[in-house]
Each structure stands twice: as structure tokens, then as C-alpha cells.
Chain A
Amino acid sequence: GESVGLHLPTLSVQEGDNSIINCAYSNSASDYFIWYKQESGKGPQFIIDIRSNMDKRQGQRVTVLLNKTVKHLSLQIAATQPGDSAVYFCAENPRGGADGLTFGKGTHLIIQP
């Protein structure tokens, strides 16, 4: 079954507000997590990653939080802009090996003017 999932298929936020996209995973052995952004007609683009020995990592306007106790991952986008409109996927590396990532179904982030 699906080991990585999203809580909401669509998230609508006002431009300038902060966005929080959530993700649950079920495999406690996963040791690496990634957030991707996918714009219409394009391939998934890496945003930020985090390893299981961390609980927070910050990038430019983005923060990923990892709560291993409840197997929860979130992506926070500060001061959301129109260009942030896309589908966001979380992904986990279930066995820490080279056999690919398992993806959630994605959350469509819609920016309201």
C-alpha cells in the first residue's frame, strides 16, 4: 500500500501568507525524505531534503520539519508567491538503498491574489 501520503489534495492560500503542506509516512525505517515541486507540464523539481537524524532544515523561504515520533513531515513556505503555485510531493527512501523513492499523491497549492 501507499507508505507516503498527503493530508489534503488541494491547499489554497493568500499571496504573502505562509503555506504549510503536510505528509504522513508509515515506514519507520525510512531515513531520507525529500520535497518536490512540480509545475504543470514539467518534471518534479527538488526543493529540500532532510535525513532522519535531523528534525528541521531550512532553505530559502522553505523549511522542512520531521517528526519521527508520529511519522510526519511538513513543508513550510514563507511569504507564498504566485510562482509557488504547483503540486508538491513528499517522498521517502524506505530502505536507504538505491531502489528509488516512494511518493505521496501530492498537494496542489493554489495561490489566491
Chain B
Amino acid sequence: NAGVTQTPKFQVLKTGQSMTLQCAQDMNHNSMYWYRQDPGMGLRLIYYSASEGTTDKGEVPNGYNVSRLNKREFSLRLESAAPSQTSVYFCASRIQQNTIYFGEGSWLTVV
């Protein structure tokens, strides 16, 4: 059972480039999330999808878009990367009102 899988693990982008972070879960969870984590800070919610076909903004959505492709997959897109988006990104999933399970993270550097 892989749980939550996200790719790529590491990525370096130039300012203005675009990229998509991929996430898939095999736990049949309804809800999926994208968080970012910056040094000395906790996790901040970017976007979430409460169920297949729906997406909503979290605390820090600016500069990002998401797609809930199906129940398993939830992708995060940076259309025009900025240095402020240098961070570690975590995908997560849950069954409502229960524990959120996280992937292993994607380290993104924008130069």
C-alpha cells in the first residue's frame, strides 16, 4: 500500500517557468490537499478538494492552480514560478473528519 505518492521529489525552476506537481493516493479517500512548508513555519494550506469534482482555495492560493483529475489524483500547477514559491510541497488525503495522511514531499527551488 503506497499511501500518498507525489512527484517529482526535487525540482529546480527558473523564474517564469511553469510546472505541475503530481499526487495520487490509493486509500480511496474523498478529500485531497496541497500544503506548503517553509523554514520555521508550519504547514499552510494552498488548495483542497473535498470530493471528486470540487476544489477550493486554502490559506495561500495565489500563484497556484489545481486539478482533481479523478478520485485518486490531485495536481498542483505553478503557471509562472516565482522565487517566493521556493518551498517544500506536501500532498495529503483523508476521509472526512479523520486523520490526514501526507506524501513524502516535493522540494521546489525557483531561481
Interface residues of A (CB under 8 A from B): 4, 9, 31-32, 34, 36, 41-46, 49, 89, 91, 93, 96-106
The reply to whether A44 and B33 form a contact with Cβ atoms under 8 Å apart is: no
Chain B residues near A46 (CB-CB < 8 A): 99-101
Proximity string of chain B (100-111) to chain A, C-beta cutoff 8 Å, 1 when within and 0 when not: 111111000000
B2 within 8 A of A: no
Q: Contacts A42-B104, A43-B102, A44-B90 given: A100-B97 contact, CB under 8 Å?
A: no
Contacts A43-B90, A46-B101, A106-B42 known; list 14 others, CB within 8 Å.
Answer: A36-B102, A43-B102, A43-B103, A44-B102, A45-B102, A46-B99, A89-B42, A89-B43, A97-B96, A98-B96, A99-B58, A101-B100, A104-B42, A105-B41
Interface residues on B, range: 20 to 34
Chain B residues near A42 (CB-CB < 8 A): 104-105
Q: Contacts A89-B43, A99-B56 given: A43-B105 contact, CB under 8 Å?
A: yes
Interface SS of chain A: helix, strand, loop or mixed? loop
Which of B33, B43, B56, B97 has the most chain A CB atoms inside 10 A of its CB?
A: B43
The reply to whether B58 and A100 form a contact with Cβ atoms under 8 Å apart is: yes
Chain A residues near B50 (CB-CB < 8 A): 97-99
The reply to whether A103 and B43 form a contact with Cβ atoms under 8 Å apart is: yes
Q: Report the nearest A residue to B56, measured CB to CB.
A: A99
